Structure 1
Amino acid sequence: MSHLLFTPVTLPTPDGHGLEVGNRAFVAPMCQYAVDATDGVPTDWHLSHLGALAAGGFGLVVAEATGVEARGRISPQDLGLWEDGQVSAHARLVDFIHGQDRVAGVQLAHAGGKASTWPMLPGFSDVTVPAAEGGWQTVSAVDGPVLPDLDAAAGLTEDGIAQVVASFAEAARRADAAGYDVVQIHAAHGYLVHQFLSPLTNTRTDGYGGDLDGRSRLLREIVAAVREVWPDSKPLGVRVSGTDWVDDGLQVGEVASVLRDLVDAGQISWIDVSSGGLTDGSTIPVGPGYQVPLAVSVTDTLAEAGLGQDAAVVSAVGLIEDALQAETVLATGQAHAVSIGRAALVNPHWAAQAAAELRVPRSELPHAPQFFRARF
């Protein structure tokens, strides 16, 4: 029986060799808020969480939003790669993922004005952590709160922007030292890069604001800086919010045009298309696969420029929850891969179970051999 979900996909690389991923079920980065020491160092929880997903059959396992600066963390309990002392604990995660014959990725992130919030866990509110309780001054495109319930951020100067760009590059260097195969730059969900991209939050009048060229400058500079230090044998990806879901916000056509230029320049070769993060969410039509059309728009824009899967892999994400749904997204050409988030939290063996449902031969189910007696 034909099934695209469990066929390999190659993420292109500048050296021309590409990186093969064993199947097209990717793990979306998902914050765990499990660094109780607040030092950014991965813990046994992260090994258990990511290790289970690797053993459960996902082709690409991506670690959660990892702060490139301490002030760039969403919460004090987030992962980090802002200093060399964090590398060895990341390498431990990578080694286990590689031991399951999976590809290891990490999402490099800066939360900007949405940093310094309490963890998204039961019993915590979604507001800024006070300085007296471990919080810090946040930064963004301009002065002011990014969302109504958050404290005011400080607008970055051009020197401050240069520092952020350099921090992304240094974090990528550390990701390489840890052995990660793929880096994904977080430009979605209302965090710093998205705060610059969106006209909702970027009202700057200098070269980092105004039209799309100005608003996308930070993303383009980060990509260029990371690509300088990230090996040519390794793919570089970007996760974007395809739209703000409001008329005066960021639109998918704008996002797609920026991505097209980055792909055409050979700087990125994996795009994960999400959405939202800068509004209260009331206008978002949440439902099964609700973000897949955004991935289609990006894929179509690339195709119109003659940029197909051999130039960049586009993955769709957003309430893709069952095997048939995922297979349909791929079989109809809407995306080249799917990123699984909440469904993977529910079932770390989602990939192996999906393979069984698609009638992949039992001997080829993508799970750790220790699970050979499982009845997927």
Structure 2
Amino acid sequence: MTSPALFTPFTLRSVTFRNRLWVAPMCQYSVEKRDGVPTDWHLVHLGGTARGGAGLVMAEATGVTPEGRISAWDTGIWNDEQRDAWSRIVAFIHGQGAAAGIQLAHAGRKGSTHRGLEGHGAIATHDGGWEPLGPSTLPFPGLATPAPMSHAQIAQAVAAFRSAARRALDAGFDVLEVHAAHGYLLHEFLSPLSNDRSDEYGGSLENRARFLLEVVREVRDVAGADVPVFVRLSATDWKEPEGWTLEDTVAVSAWARDAGADLVDVSSGGNVADAPIPVGPGYQVPFAAEVRERVGVPTSAVGLVTEPHLAEHIVASGQADAVMAGREFLRDPHFALRAAHELGAGVDYWPFQYERGTFAHRPA
């Protein structure tokens, strides 16, 4: 019997993923000390999905600087204490047979916010917040007005991505993802809805993409020949024609590929508050398919893929090379093992401690 496409291995550079059902980066807002150091929560959260059969476990959006966090409760990777805490988590993920990835991020104008449990909107500096940065003074609705970044601050941010990539590799991560989606800093520079600069980082598409491509080149240089580099892009602001569009994404994906990206992780939205997004199962998959076909670069698809047969169809039909799932792994950390059973894939990575729970097990 032919193995389901979702459970065939996939290789990028020196990394072979045991399957193509991957854990999407999901913010946990669980660093209670607000120091960016991942905790036992992150070990159990991420380790549980590795134990549950995922091919790649991608850690949440992780700040490359303190002000690069969305909230003060986010993880970071700007110092060695954070690096060492991540290394323990990565070791456990590897021990379960999964690859480990980290999403390197800067929140930009969407930084210094409350986490959901504490309310919404910006958090004041006297409560541990900070002045957010952005391409210009255009704020995200309901959040603080950002300070427009100087050329020196842009260069510092590029250097911070490079340093974060180095620490991530030292922690043992197999994959580095540059976060340029969901209305965070790099996406803010890409979109004309959030970038009204008139210098070499604003105006034309080439100029608006300059910051991202500088980051990708630095991360690629640190990653060397063996480590895959992903770029997550929002395919559209859902505000065409004035906003970021799929055509822009196709062009920038090609430039990112040429700068050293190995895979484009295709999502959408996040840069404006009133976008009319037609949410439904697999609603973002056509964007991943378009980028894959037109750019000739591997893609991953994401967006309410909660059912194994839909994930299988996406990969088997060539719309994407892998599927990133988020909510379903929150509901069921063993989603990948359950999908393998439902699709009839014989996998050999059930934890031996759980063998009595396998569908093939019969009582003595």
Q: How does 1:339-350 map to 2 (within 5 A)?
A: 339-350=324-335
Matched, 1:219 2:215: no
**Quick one: which of 58, 65, 76 aligns to 1:69?**
65
Amino acid at match of 1:61: V
Q: Distance in 2 between matches of 1:333 and 1:104?
A: 24
Amino acid at match of 1:373: R
Cα contact 2:308–2:339 (8 A) shared by 1: yes
Q: Displacement of 1:101 after TM fit? A: 1.2
**Quick one: which of 140, 143, 146 aligns to 2:137?**
143
Q: Distance in 1 between matches of 2:270 and 2:131?
A: 20
Aligned to 2:165: 172
Cα contact 2:269–2:275 (8 A) shared by 1: no
**Quick one: which of 81, 87, 109 aligns to 2:83?**
87
**Structure 2 unaligned runs (5+)?**
360-364
User: Helix, strand or coil: the match of 1:104?
Assistant: strand
Question: Percent same amino acid among aligned pairs?
Answer: 49
Q: Distance in 2 between matches of 1:29 and 1:339?
A: 9
TM-score by length of 1: 0.93
Q: Displacement of 1:339 after TM fit? A: 0.2
Aligned to 2:308: 323
Matched, 1:28 2:21: no
Cα contact 1:352–1:365 (8 A) shared by 2: no
Q: Distance in 2 between matches of 1:157 and 1:31?
A: 28
**Quick one: which of 338, 352, 356 aligns to 1:369?**
352
The RMSD of aligned alpha carbons is: 1.2
Cα contact 2:238–2:275 (8 A) shared by 1: no
Q: How does 1:288-299 map to 2 (within 5 A)?
A: 288-299=281-292
Cα contact 2:50–2:98 (8 A) shared by 1: yes
Q: How does 1:1-376 map to 2 (within 5 A)?
A: 1-2=1-2, 3-11=4-12, 13=13, 18-121=14-117, 124-145=118-139, 147-247=140-240, 248-265=242-259, 267-302=260-295, 307=296, 312-361=297-346, 364=347, 366-376=349-359
Q: Distance in 2 between matches of 1:24 and 1:5?
A: 5
What per-residue deviation string (whole Å, max 9, x for no partner) do you get for residues 37-92 of structure 1? 00000100000000100000000001000000000100100000011221110000
User: Helix, strand or coil: the match of 1:63?
Assistant: strand
Amino acid at match of 2:301: A
Q: Displacement of 1:120 after TM fit? A: 2.9
TM-score by length of 2: 0.96
Q: Distance in 2 between matches of 1:232 and 1:331?
A: 29
**Structure 1 unaligned runs (5+)?**
none
Amino acid at match of 1:343: E
Q: Distance in 1 between matches of 2:301 and 2:336?
A: 16
Aligned to 2:362: none
Cα contact 1:58–1:366 (8 A) shared by 2: no
Q: Distance in 1 between matches of 2:226 and 2:39?
A: 29
